[in-house]
Structure 1
Amino acid sequence: MHLWDETLAKNLIGCTLLIGLTREVGDNCSYEQFFGVVTHCDPERGITLRLEGSRKGNTYNLPPRICSRFIPPNRENTD
């Protein structure tokens, strides 16, 4: 399985993503949600979001793992 799809990465630029994180430490879990607009996609550095909402003005980097199984809404599957 490929972890990076260059065509999909290019199509993500300008899309708004909702991110949900779950952190587990021992018996404790914490949950966090935030959203932002994709500004950069790089196979080495990952996906950069310009955050909106209560985190507006900050950025967040996601790991460089995207595959063609994720298709943004209103975008065509190029596979």
Structure 2
Amino acid sequence: MDIKDKAEDLRDKAGDFADQASDRITKASSKAGKYLGEKGEQFVDAEQRVMNETCNYVSENPVTSIAMAAAAGFLISRMLSFR
């Protein structure tokens, strides 16, 4: 086997390795995309649920909600004014 044959053999092996790596990357990115899509849907569902619960709470307890918002605003203003 001369150098030319060895180089061709090495080139073929490198090509096979690159194809395998490409396939693995494609599969991994597909799985990651699917996972992120599912997590995104779960996040949107959780966001909608929290928003509905918050709206219901504010509707059922308007005075408490205003008091909590005022207290939160006061605390935030105090924290920002100490800087």
TM-score normalised by the shorter chain: which range applies?
under 0.3
Higher RCO, Cα 8 Å, sep 6+: 1
User: Per residue, is there more strand in 1 or in 2?
Assistant: 1
Q: State TM-score, norm by structure 1.
A: 0.21
Q: State TM-score, norm by structure 2.
A: 0.20
